Structure formats: C-alpha cells, structure tokens
Structure 1
Amino acid sequence: MTAVARKNAKTGRLMALLALAMLGLAFASVPLYRAFCQLTGFDGTPLRAERAPGAIAGQIGVRFDANINADLPWKFEPVQETVRIAPGARTQILYRATNLTARTTTGQAVFNVSPEIAGPYFSKIECFCFTEQTLKPGQSVDMPVVFFVDPKIRDDENTRNIDEITLSYTFYPVEKPEAAR
C-alpha cells in the first residue's frame, strides 16, 4: 500500500468515526436537551425539587392550562384553573384526565411555564408528567402536581414584577407495542 493510499484509508476511518459520533449525538440530543432544561429552567421548563423552601410575604398567581394532542382520545383539564400563593409555599393542585374510548390508552405529558423567565423559579416536587399515564376504557383519574415558586423570584429584577405564571401541560399518546397491550 502506498503512502497516499494509507493516508486516504486513515482519513476514511476518521470520517466514518466522525459520522458515527454525529449519529450518536443526534440520538442523544433530545434527552440531553430535556435534562439541560430541567436542570437550568431554560425555555420555561420548571425545575424539579425535593421540598419547598417556605413561604414569604406577598402572593403570586398561578394559572393552569391543559391541552391534548389530537391523536389522544382523552379529556384533560385542571380541577382548579388558578390559585394565588405565597412564593416558597408548597402547593398541591389536581388535573383530571378521562379516557373517552373503549380501549386502554397511554399518554405522557410535557410541560412548560410562561413567561419563560419564570421557569427557573418554578419547581415541581411531584408531577404526573414524570411518568407515562395509562387509563382504562372510560376511566377518570385525578393527578396531583405539587410545586412551589422560589422566593428568589422577587429578588431578580427581571421577574420581581411578575404577577401570574402559567403552568401548561400537553398530553401526547404513547404507542405501546401490540404485545405490551
């Protein structure tokens, strides 16, 4: 093998390795992005917490929004549309989902907070969105969300005047293999 052929073979192997690395990164990008958003609150993603820090004086409104992808035959709504809470107070609300079909269906919720700049200050302790939800035919279920708004929201000059935050969920169908049904 000539020196040029060896150089071309080495370049070919490097390009194949680079292509495989790019393919692996493409598959890992969605979970990595989701983890980044949950860690930082980027793009209005609420943070996940173990417990609330404790309430401070003053109140902030939280509005609850519910949406469903057209391919999921459920009714989905907040039990209570709004609350006024003290920043730092542990709060629990409920969403209700009903399977409108005669077959078992599974969905998973994605969520966001608006305005986006409030995302880093909105922390969920417990949420139905962390797992898939399976409902039997005609079944209704109340699903809790336990959260708090970090009191530091009032220390940030960009967020101190926010009077209302919207927590929005959208449920999407989860396709189960035929054998798992």
Structure 2
Amino acid sequence: MNTITLQKRNRRTMLWAFAAAAGMLGLGFAAVPLYRLFCQVAGFGGTTQVATEQEADLAAQMANSGGVRDISIRFDANTGMDMPWRFEPVNATDRIAIGQRDMAIYTARNTSTETITGTATFNVEPEQAGRYFNKIQCFCFTEQTLRPGQEVRMPVIYFVDPAMLDDPNMAGVQQITLSYTFHRAKQPS
C-alpha cells in the first residue's frame, strides 16, 4: 500500500471518528430535553399532564356520564437545601370526584433577609397516575419571587382524568400524591 492511499484511509477514519464523537456529544445535550418531552407525553416517572379548560370540561362530562367515583389526593411540599422558604399545602389531603376540577392551595414564605426567586419541580406518585393527573393552572409553570418575609398563597387547579378507571395499572389506587420541591432559580450568567 502506498503512502498516499494510507493517508487517505487515515483521513477518512479520522473524519468518521470525529463525526461519531460529534454525534454522541449532540445526543448527550439532547437527551435531557428529549427525556423530559417523553415523560410529559407518556406520564412516565410521575410527570403530570397539562390540560386546558376545555379538556377539564370534557373530563367532567365523561365522569358525570359514567357514575362518579372519588379518590384521595395528598399534597406534599419540600424545599431544596439552599432554599430558605417555608413551603406547605394549606390542606394535606383532599377527596375529589374523578373528572371534576378542584383547587389546592400551597403557601410559601421567604424566611431569609434577601429576595429569592424559586422554581418548583413536581411529580406524582404512584408513577402510573402521572398520565391521569392534569394541571390546568399551577405555580410551577413560572418562577416565583418573594421578598424577605413575604408570604404568598399559590393555587393549583387540577383534575384526575376518568380514563384512569379503565386502566388495569390503576386498579387498587386509592390515593395520588402530588409532590412539589422548590429550588432557587438559576441566576442568569
């Protein structure tokens, strides 16, 4: 094999290796948003669904036509270690009719001497209930900024989709837990 042919093969191998490395790097950056999208669509990992007012009305109609069943909802509140807020639900549990819209209220109080912006992450347990737990309005959709000592009430408007009654994976589920954790929002660099 002559030197020119060997150089061409080495160059081609180097280009393929570089392309593979660049592709893997791109997939690494895309993995988190793609996984988040998958979880939102499938309700995987306790990710709740976001619903419109019209979808809530349709769910209520479905529930009313099929006989009403109720379910217990437990509300959980946590803060990250770097978050000096007192954060809690006004009521720890509620019993609701499946398909009917309801509202839960959480309170947050900034116990520090500085203004802090926080963002809430959430999940639902058991995990398979995530695809049926629909939020119409939620404080988790936007950052929350509290001045020192400020306390706010934050509503969550939600419903549980009556389709859960037809899912064998939901058989025996008597309670759904909606859990939030507030973290400091990342400061722009």
What TM bracket, shorter-length normalisation? over 0.9
| Deviation by residue 1:116-160 (Cα, 9 ceiling, x = unmatched) | 111111111111112221111111111111111000111112213
Matched residue, 1:135: 146
Number of aligned residue pairs: 178
Instruction: Supply the AA of the counterpart residue of 2:115.
Output: T
Matched residue, 2:14: 12
Structure 1 residue 18: deviation in Å? 1.7
Instruction: Supply the AA of the counterpart residue of 1:113.
Output: V
Instruction: Supply the AA of the counterpart residue of 1:13.
Output: L
The alignment-based identity, stated in percent, is: 52
Structure 2, gaps ≥5 residues long: none
| Deviation by residue 1:18-37 (Cα, 9 ceiling, x = unmatched) | 21221122122212211211
Is the 1:98–1:139 Cα contact (8 Å) retained in structure 2? yes
Structure 1, gaps ≥5 residues long: none
Matches within 5 A, 1:1-181: 2-51=4-53, 52=56, 53-54=59-60, 55-56=63-64, 57-177=68-188
Separation in 2, partners of 1:33, 1:134:
28
Instruction: Supply the AA of the counterpart residue of 2:70.
Output: Q
| Deviation by residue 1:1-59 (Cα, 9 ceiling, x = unmatched) | 71221121122122112212211221222122112111110011111111311044111
Instruction: Supply the AA of the counterpart residue of 2:164.
Output: I
Three-state SS of the structure 2 residue aligned to 1:165 is strand
Q: Structure 1 residue runs of 4+, over 2 Å off?
A: none
Separation in 1, partners of 2:26, 2:139:
30
Separation in 1, partners of 2:17, 2:78:
44
Structure 1 residue 175: deviation in Å? 2.9
Separation in 2, partners of 1:47, 1:134:
25
Structure 1 residue 72: deviation in Å? 0.8
Backbone CA RMSD of aligned residues: 1.4
| Deviation by residue 1:146-179 (Cα, 9 ceiling, x = unmatched) | 111000111112213211100001111113147x
Separation in 2, partners of 1:132, 1:18:
38
Instruction: Supply the AA of the counterpart residue of 1:159.
Output: M
TM-score normalised by L of structure 2:
0.89
Higher helix share: 2
Separation in 2, partners of 1:28, 1:109:
22
Three-state SS of the structure 2 residue aligned to 1:16 is helix
